[in-house]
Amino acid sequence: MRNFIVILLGFSMLLNSAATAKNLFILSGQSNMARLKPEKVFQPAVEAEFGKDNIIVVKEAQGGQPISRWYKDWKSAVDEKSESTGDLYDSMMKKVLAAVQDDKLTSVTFIWMQGEADAKASNGEIYAASLEGVVDQLRTDLGFQHINVIIGRLSDFGMDNKKCPHWTMIRDAQVRMAEAHPRYTWVDTDDLNDGADGKGRIRPNALHYSVEGYDVLAKRYAEKSIALIRENER
């Protein structure tokens, strides 16, 4: 009888642990992430899938910023470091740790929309290694190895590589990186930058996405997040 009670208690603890496990979603990047509102489309979608009490959503984004502000060991192609290396990552992690506190994490999904600044600064050759460095930082700081990564690929805005010399190079690097890892994927944004902006102006092939475009992007991020989590459940 005593052994039966112990088994029941253990089973109850397992159920409670599973019930309180959280799915953490971290959204970060520069302006096209800063303009996305997770609470509008993304958060309702993941809440519907996993339950409102089982998700944590954190966003840290700032327009016009290079990846060096996330990657602490960033160095340029000529071995130069940035003065503000890793400061936005620290700000992001401060928000993440405050949101997580003592919660148990059952999944971590890192959603990334950045690269415009590095394309302009011709940092395409080191971009993939830098982004992988950011993900490695997350693995270490969260103590969570199996992180899902969703990369919003740069749009078709700068395909001529005139204003941003490494635009296509970074686009290609983002896809190669996403397709080389079973827990990584990428999202197409080529159809999101045509249409009305927040002031009602019609912008064809713009750097920033249309109002509708941000909602579509959020929907795609949610769908990819759900798919990765479900595919990797154990």
- Average pLDDT of the residues in 51-61: 97
10: pLDDT confidence band, cut at 50, 70 and 90? very low
Please name the helix (run of DSSP H) or strand (run of DSSP E) that holds residue 7, with its range, or none: helix 2-20
Cα separations (Å) of 135 from 10, 97, 151, 156?
35, 16, 12, 25
User: Residues 110, 178: contact at Cβ < 8 Å?
Assistant: no
Q: Cβ atoms within 10 A of the Cβ of 102, count?
A: 5
17: pLDDT confidence band, cut at 50, 70 and 90? very low
Domain 2-231 CATH superfamily: SGNH hydrolase (3.40.50.1110)
Alpha helices by DSSP H, listed for 77-115, are 87-100
CA–CA distance, 204 with 193 (Å, rounded to integer) = 7
Q: Where are the domains of the chain?
A: 2-231
Q: What letter does residue 182 receive in the DSSP assignment?
A: T
Q: Based on C-alpha coordinates, what's the Rg of the chain?
A: 19
Q: What is the pTM of this model?
A: 0.90
Average pLDDT, the chain: 91
Cα 218 to the chain's mean position, in Å?
A: 11
pLDDT at 3 exceeding the cut of 80: no
The helix/strand/coil state of 40 is coil
CA–CA distance, 153 with 113 (Å, rounded to integer) = 7
- Tens of pLDDT, residues 80-95: 777 779 999 999 999 9
